[in-house]
Structure 1
Amino acid sequence: MRADDEKDHSPPIEKRSVPAGGGAGAAAAPALEHREAEQRLAIARGPRKKVDEGPPKPRLTSHKVRSQWFQARAAWPYREASPYVVVEARQQLQKRAAAAAGVATQPPPAPAREGAATVASGTQAHSQPGAKLAPQQQWHCIGPTNIGGRMTSIIAHPQHPDRIWAGAAGGGVWESSDAGHTWSSTWDTQTLLNIGSLAMDPKNPEVLYCGTGEANLSADSYPGIGVYWSRNAGKKWELLADARQARLPKRIGALAVDPFNSRRIFLGGVNSGIFENQDDLGGLYISEDQGKTWQRFNFISDNNYRCHSIAFHPTWEGWMYATFTEQGNKNGIWRSTDGGRTWVQLTNGLPESPRIGRTSLALCDSKPNMIYAFGADEASESRDLVLGVFRSDDGGDNWREISGNYFLSERQMSYGNAIAVSPDDPDFVVCGGVDLHRSRDGGRTWRKITFWNKERGDTTGRNPALKQDPQYAHADHHALLIPSQTPHRIYSANDGGVDVSDDGGDTWSNRSNGLAVTMYYDIDVCQSDEQIFGGGAQDNGTLITDDGKADDHREILGGDGGWMVIDPAEPSHLLCSHQFMGIYRYRHGQVQDISPPAAEKDLIWMCRITMDPSDPDRIYVGSNRVWFTDDDGDTWKVISPDLDGSPITALEVAPADSQRIYVGTENGGIFRSVNGGANWSANIAGSTLPARIITQIATDAMAADTLIVTVGLTDHSHVFRSDNGGLIWRDIDQGNLPNVPHQVVVVRPDDPKTIFVGNDLGVFVSEDDGTSWNDLSRNLPHVMVIDLVYHPHDRSLTAATYGRSLWRLKIE
């Protein structure tokens, strides 16, 4: 250890890990004594995500690694997990809540079988936690509210273009009345917060529709449960059509209301075709009774196909267009002139149909026979390139490609694919994938109008001199909108929230303040100061705040942010990471790349990092082996074999004995070293554990042999305990915790009988060594909780969510 370190001997923080924001259910944050500017940490800004030079390279390997990372936690052996696992688990909580509410007037329950754990639940599907856990306390959002996160859809009021609604991939629906300068959540307590699309009734803007389930074909997008609607502009949402009952897709990326008949609604969905032995077909669907019943169109296929975009002709009743992919000759653009009863494939001037991938459509209100289409090239496979921008001047009879070779460097078209045309200028068109591009002359010439790698500027207000570059907008554009009342305004919903231009795309500003929808992989909280905390976020880098303010988070490392570890005694010393084992050390205002020389790094989406509680220069990193440094990352060595052929997913150095190291793997193995990594056991998971991914290992701060693990996936118990170093295991879940993936466990160091777990339903607690459990979610939005950190000095619990930023609860 360094000579200048003074060690803090207070109980160590228990750090554990993905995925939430402030909204209607958020409690007011307790007053904090925020530090003055001169007291803030001098943390250098690390490297930003790099721009790939030249034509896009194949990305199949990276995509596969990322896909496996998410699948292993939530879905394996299926391609993706059914959203109804969460639905049914939440319904079970509600039943228990109702039973708990009537306990005073009902006969006492039958005794539980010996050794069984029990769960108590309370109002609003949440529990009545024990008195020691201050039942009057509520969770409050601690940000970031100034960063944003992945948004999938956006709509505007037709007469009031400042009034907009935006859907978040994992954070619900949000409303702004001032063109995105401020936001408020309209969607906190719905069963799921995964939004795919939004639509408005053209005849009545008070009526909104929401299609759930993200349809952007990414590894970390999650399905939904059907269509919701609101009859009061988002103040209240109701489930209009349950996907399982109505046999609708679980990922609805397109919604459109017939402008001539509000009872006729069309939706487009994408799905895998098989959903845990249930039919789950993508495609085009119609409702002729305002969403109550639905019928699928089978002119593309009776089997699975995808519908990506739906557009109505604004003046010719019955005319509409849609785009499809079915991996064959029916790919492409189709038109109906009779309200959907019959359809014709449009091919004149377009590439051969099997090459046409995901395609977005845009029609101009002032010249609706002019149609633009922005398509992906199926033949480019893993490079995911642009096929072209196509234009028809005669309602779709004939087409021509209008972009030439301009889009050779654009990519990821199956993920970000959006196009919009000015309502009063048919020659003004904007489209994009990673960045945005504009033509003012109907496609004859093009100009790139946003650059994700330019300076975003200071998002905290502490450094006014660091201004946003006027051409900066976040990468990966999923929806574009040009309102009819403000034809020079462009809204973009992207992976960084909402970006807005008020001058036709010449300059941009990020309008994500208040939009608490950041998707976290991990969080850490400084043991010596709970106002210093941060973590890694999906496509928003590694974020940190050092004054605890919700609107004062900043990026200190680019890419997909991974694990962060803060030295408990020296807050200016921390480790941050990004995908593929990129690790950076921050110390005394300097930043340095200290990534281990791991040949296996391209196989590891996110690596686990932990510090030795007794010496922060001793650092352990998990790939499929354990890497170790005793000089703060200057040199590394491998201290374990490849344990079971799968990535390390949990890594614990016992605070009570730092020679005791426990490792969990994606294959469900648990391995132990009792001598600092010199020797390793065989797999000690035993037959009690379900041979599924180990998501976290936590030990008692005073007893290195006492450890608790959490397990991902479903249809088994998720929390197990050993009191003899892993030799014998006990199931302390016993089916009484929700049947959803569990991501994190924390053993309270100042009261080791208290155990916290985070899962896809929220946060749960046991105050008796796991004998019984209480739901501690209270007013948390219904979002996945992936990481928890308990702070013993302030007696607070901090939760990281995948879609609603960070939240904190005062325990006492």
Structure 2
Amino acid sequence: MKKVFFLLAVIILSSIVFAVSKWQNSHFSKTEKFPAPSETIVLNKGDKEEKEWKEQLEREEWINRLHKTAPDADWRSIDQQTRYMNLLRKSSNTRSNIDTLANGFLTGFWKERGSVNQSGRIVFADYDTSSNAIYAASDGGTIFKGSLNGSNWTPITDHFNISGIDYLAVLNQTSSPRIFVAAGKYCYFSDDDGTTWTTSTGINAVTSWGDIRKAAVLNQDNENIYLLIQEWDYTNWEEIISIYYSQNRGTSFSKLVSYSTNQMGSINQHDFWADRYQGNTLYYIQQDRVFKVQGNVTQQIGSIGALTNDRSMITGTNVGGNLTLYAYIDQDIYQSINGAASWIQKANVARNPFRQNSFAASYSNANAVFFGGVNCARSLNGFSSWEEVNQWYDYYGSISDKLHADIPAVIPFFDENGVAKTFICTDGGLYISDDNLQTVENLSLHGLNCSQYYDVYTYRAQPQYIYAGAQDQGFQRASQDTADILGFEQTVSGDYAHIVSSDSGASMWFVYPGFAAYNDDATTGNWDVSGDFDGRGNYWLPPLCEHPTIKSKVYMAGDDPNGGTGAFIYELTANLSGNNVSYNQLPADVQALTGGQISAFTYSPLDTDYWYALMDNGTMVYSTDNMSNWNVGGLNNGPEAHYFHGASIYASKAKFGRVIAAGSGYSNPGVWVSEDHGVTWEQMNSGLPQTLTFMIDATPDDSLIFAATEVGPYVFVAKDSMWYSMSSDAAPDQRYWSVEWINASKTVRFGTYGRGIWDFSFAQESDTTDTTSVNNLSGLNEQFHVYPNPAKDQLTVQSEQAKLRKVDIYDINGRVVAQIYPTDNTTTINLSHLVKGTYFVHLHTQTEHSIQKIIKL
């Protein structure tokens, strides 16, 4: 979202101002990196809010294009139903260490890789006074539980992803605290701290069409919860806005009132607020009219008298028994101190809200009001005036006490001692303030592991280097591969994706919304040169493909830069001496053949004259002459092909002509395979649910094909011609966005959009000789030894270079049957108490690990 920049103006002598150079092809020098604020640049600062909102809309459009469906299909509902079925198949959210998956074809273990220090977006949070714990909901659909000082973060819903969370409340007025969540079209509650979840009843109509736009708890001692819902009236065929309420802590809801948007304005002109701790009244704004809701009775109590065309919001506070209400109408703030009977216009906040929960007032000071957009505004005088808590770019110089950009929610609350505090949710984690946002503290510096990655790439020659493109947490890099969950360095802020390399990660290309960048040494710095799209990018993050041999070149799919029709491939060249990136438009217009835009493309590694491209309208083209000419393939055959949106295309390393296409699979098969370069295609979706496949990769012999999908990781076993879920209790239920096979370590690495990077490492079969040098999973083939195998009463394990820290032995069901803590490089383990069968030996040094399969005689 944001290119990181900081306006550097140094006044020397009397009035000499050094201006920052204009944003052009090279935005940063090679050595600049965060968090040092003097090494960042800021330009066009006044356009930040407008640019941010444009990018947010473009991002949402891009996401929806990827999830292409038939008109009567709702991809979010389809995916959530799949997640719920997966939850029913899981026994609990406990994790075993060894997994046997895919009908017994895969054996290995899942491991979280990071990041541990780059939190993603937190959308809502609440505080449980009974346990002194924070519950924080991430944009990726995982709920975390932690301490009020920002420590001990633990995911409590890794087994059940709750997509689209907008509200979370911990209701602890009984002996059994309840976690209540409003998310998308559903509400859920859990009475056992997140282990099991039940769907609230009474709001079934919204699941067909619509959305829960806001939720609020009114005086939690009375157990009342209200919902503001966007629905559809199928009788009169019009959009309606409804309020639902529950009197049993969210177990069930009843409809209170409905309004037609034709008479009462769009959903953005409706909002409500309720005091969480006292009173019996919900305050509801409808355009500029204000109502009070008590029980199931609604009554208008005032009118602000302001014209509204865009957005209306309301918030309030009740300090010392005195009600103060605030309203937002098209960026103007209004105040009422007489129960909404009259209103005073106070100030223009000069921004739109980031989300519905971004407007709040303090529980301790009726004049303290907060409004979150890209930055967060703070007023301590009832919005007679206001100031920024900090500028978004201040974060990079002081991460611990400056807010990250983008404020989904500001949440006042009382702690266990009755002290008023405030949570601030951002795109970079969760913050807290105890002085009405005069100061803030970052609670997500370590352990709130909700990184949102679009893409992950591992440097093959030096696999300790892992690169990641994140949602609003920039381009990230890990440089030390330890046994722990890794910390990542954010080299530059913003949104980055489509990481490609012609030399396996020594150098690198990637895209940001607006430009492509090249880093000649990907292990350091951020980039050497970059070049703006200038209208060429047809997607928010347009697809890239590496050049087969030349590292300083890359190919990008785009459209006509002059605004005309067309779908083209551009060859980009990094000119290090000229400090720029040049664009060369290849002559072939693919849109003229198919009518679509290129959504993914690649080449055959067996003959780089052969290129393959997927289109956004369900078609496919191929070239046999290095993209000079294109031919229409046969992927568009079939009655529902036009609902297929290609997201990933894979050309086999094992068989020339084999191509696999993957993408949206809600109203049609989501994966297809061709054995003749795309001339003819067959469905390849047996075992795969209706969902979107973001990316595919495979082992060198195509025996295993891996898919990163909206509803989890999948593997296609060629021997069985079937897709299998790789989900288990050891891996989070998440949106898996990227996948790569790392052959040296026999590991498949997934990037998720909410829980960071996860590896599945394969167990290797040991030789049945007395002494075995095991082909272990970390790629250190000569460092670990396990012998004899098969073994009868004793087993010797050895690490050649480092002292063994721990050895675990698991049975075939993943249960620990022995655990040893050696004091040297070699140790002997007694197996006489074990029954005959198959076991797994997991060896740990301080920095490496290996897992081996043995037979006990």
TM range (shorter): 0.7 to 0.9
The CA deviation string for residues 532-591 of structure 1, in whole angstroms up to 9 with x for no partner, is 2222222222222122463411222332222222454553x2223211344343437565
Matched, 1:628 2:571: yes
- Which of 689, 701, 715 is residue 667 of structure 2 equivalent to? 715
Following superposition, the deviation at residue 51 of structure 1 comes to: 5.4
Q: String of CA shifts for 1:160-208, please: whole Å, max 9, x gaps.
A: 7x52212122222211123323411121222633311012336348533
Contact 2:400 2:442 in 1 (8 A): no
Q: Aligned in 2, Cα 1:569/1:70: closer, same or farther, shift over 3 Å? A: closer
1:595 positional shift: 4.5
Contact residue 301 and residue 340 of structure 2 kept, 8 A: no
Find the counterpart in structure 1 of residue 292 from structure 2. 335
Write the distance in 1 (CA, Å) between the matches of 2:422 and 2:274: 19
Equivalences for residues 252-331 of structure 1 within 5 A:
252-259=212-219, 262-270=222-230, 273=232, 282-301=241-260, 305=267, 308-312=271-275, 315-316=278-279, 318-324=280-286, 330=287
1:809 corresponds to 2:760: yes
C-alpha offsets along residues 753-812 of structure 1, whole Å, 9 cap, x if unaligned?
A: 221122222122122167122221223322221211111111111112222222111023
Describe the SS at the equivalent of 1:252. Answer: strand
Q: Give the distance between the partners of 1:278 and 1:189, measured in 2 at CA.
A: 39
Q: 2:602 aligns with which of 645, 652, 661?
A: 652
How far apart are 1:630 and its partner, in Å? 5.9
For 1:732, the equivalent position in structure 2 comes to 684
**The residue matched to 1:53 in structure 2 has which SS?**
helix
Distance (Å, rounded) in 2 between the aligned partners of 1:150 and 1:741: 22
Q: Which moved more, 1:583-592 or 1:439-448?
A: 583-592
Sequence identity percentage: 18
C-alpha change, 1:91 and 1:266, in structure 2 (3 Å) is: closer
- CA distance in 2: counterparts of 1:427 and 1:61, whole angstroms: 32
C-alpha change, 1:657 and 1:82, in structure 2 (3 Å) is closer
On the 8 A contact 1:392/1:399 being kept in 2, the answer is yes
Q: 2:474 aligns with which of 541, 547, 563?
A: 541
- In 1, the alpha carbon distance for the partners of 2:476 and 2:188 equals 33
Deviates more, 1:682-691 or 1:59-68: 59-68
For 1:383-402, list aligned pairs within 5 A: 386=331, 388-402=332-346
Return the index of the structure with the highest Cα Rg: 2
Which of 421, 427, 440 is residue 508 of structure 1 equivalent to? 440
CA distance in 2, matches of 1:646, 1:64: 21
* Distance (whole Å) between structure 2 residues aligned to residue 397 and residue 707 of structure 1: 68
Q: Which residue of 2 aligns with 1:524?
A: 457
Give the C-alpha shift of residue 690 in structure 1.
Answer: 1.7
> Aligned partners of 1:202, 1:281: CA distance in 2, in Å?
33
Pick which of 617-626 and 51-60 moved more: 51-60
Q: Give the equivalent residue in structure 2 for 1:351.
A: 306
After TM superposition, the structure 1 = structure 2 runs for residues 144-543 of structure 1, keeping only pairs within 5 Å, are 144-158=115-129, 163-190=133-160, 192-201=162-171, 203-204=173-174, 206-213=176-183, 223-224=184-185, 226-234=186-194, 236-241=196-201, 243-244=203-204, 251-259=211-219, 262-270=222-230, 273=232, 282-301=241-260, 305=267, 308-312=271-275, 315-316=278-279, 318-324=280-286, 330=287, 332-336=289-293, 338-347=294-303, 349-352=304-307, 354-355=308-309, 357-373=311-327, 375-377=328-330, 386=331, 388-403=332-347, 405=348, 407-408=349-350, 410-411=351-352, 413=353, 415=355, 418-457=358-397, 467-468=398-399, 470-483=401-414, 485=417, 487=419, 489-512=421-444, 513-543=446-476
**Which stretch of the first structure deviates more once superposed, 800-809 or 231-240?**
231-240
- Cα distance, 1:439 vs. partner? 2.1
Is contact 2:514-2:534 (8 Å) kept? no
Contact map agreement 1:171 1:517 (CA 8 A) in 2 = no
**1:340-385 CA deviation, whole Å, 9 max, x = no partner?**
31321521x4413x44724141313434412233x251xxxxxxxx
Residues 644-700 of structure 1, C-alpha deviation per residue, up to 9 Å, x if partnerless?
Answer: 254322121222222222111212222222222222223543415823211111111
Distance in 2 of aligned mates of 1:247 and 1:299? 17
Please say if 1:69 is aligned against 2:100: no
Q: Distance in 2 between matches of 1:432 and 1:127?
A: 47
Larger RCO: 1 or 2 (CA < 8 Å, sep 6+): 1
Q: Distance in 1 between matches of 2:82 and 2:193?
A: 30
Asked whether the 8 Å contact 2:529–2:574 carries over to 1, the reply is no
Post-superposition CA distance 1:588-607 (Å, at most 9, x none): 75655645564433642011
Is 1:665–2:615 an aligned residue pair?
yes
Look up the SS of the partner of 2:168 in the other structure.
Answer: strand
Q: Which amino acid aligns with 2:679?
A: L
Deviations 1:729-750 (A, max 9, x none): 121225x31011222221212x
| 2:79 paired residue among 75, 83, 86 | 86
Deviation at 1:521, TM superposition (A): 1.9
- The answer on whether the counterparts of 1:428 and 1:438 sit within 8 Å (CA) in structure 2 is yes
Amino acid at match of 2:707: V
Q: Kindly tell me: are residues 423 and 282 of structure 1, through their superposed partners in 2, closer, same or farther at Cα, counting changes over 3 Å?
A: same
Counterpart residue identity of residue 377, structure 2: H
Q: How far off its partner does 1:612 sit?
A: 3.1
In structure 2, the CA distance between the partners of 1:399 and 1:174, relative to structure 1 (3 Å rule), is: same
Q: Are 2:460 and 2:505, in contact at CA under 8 Å, matched by a contact in 1?
A: no
**Is the CA contact 1:269–1:308 (under 8 Å) kept in the aligned structure 2?**
no
In structure 1, distance between residues paired with 2:447 and 2:466: 19
Residues 540-549 or 589-598, more deviating: 589-598
Which has the larger displacement, 792-801 or 600-609? Answer: 600-609
Match for residue 31 of structure 1? none
| Mapped partners of 2:714, 2:545: distance in 1 | 24
Structure (1 or 2) with the greater strand fraction: 2
Cα distance in 1 between the residues matched to 2:153 and 2:723: 35
Q: Aligned equivalents of 1:205 and 1:429: distance in 2?
A: 34
Q: Secondary structure at the match of 1:626?
A: strand
Query: Where in structure 1 are there 5+ consecutive unaligned residues?
Result: 1-41, 99-121, 214-222, 325-329, 378-385, 458-466
Match of 1:25 in 2: none
**Structure 2 CA distance, aligned partners of 1:260 and 1:773?**
47
Query: Residue 507 and residue 261 in structure 1: after superposition, are their counterparts in 2 closer, same or farther (change >3 A)?
Result: closer
Tell me the equivalent position of 1:797.
748
Q: 1:579 to 1:178 in 2, by over 3 A?
A: same
1:628 alignment partner AA: E
Seen in structure 2, the aligned counterparts of structure 1 residues 662 and 439 have a Cα distance that, compared at 3 Å, is same
SS in 2 for 1:395: coil
SS in 2 for 1:780: coil
**Offset at 1:503?**
4.3
Structure 2 residue 653 is matched with structure 1 residue 701: yes
Shift of 1:260: 7.0
Q: Which amino acid aligns with 1:342?
A: T
CA distance in 1, matches of 2:210, 2:705: 35
Normalising by the residue count of structure 1, what TM-score does the alignment of the two structures yield? 0.77
For 2:334 and 2:552, the matched residues in 1 are separated by 58
Q: Is the 8 A contact 1:671 1:683 kept in 2?
A: yes
**Counterpart amino acid of 1:780?**
A
Q: Distance in 1 between matches of 2:356 and 2:489?
A: 25
User: 2:109 matched to 1:138?
Assistant: yes
Residue 526 of structure 1 and its aligned partner are, at CA, apart by 1.6
CA gap 1:519/1:346 in 2 versus in 1, 3 angstroms:
farther
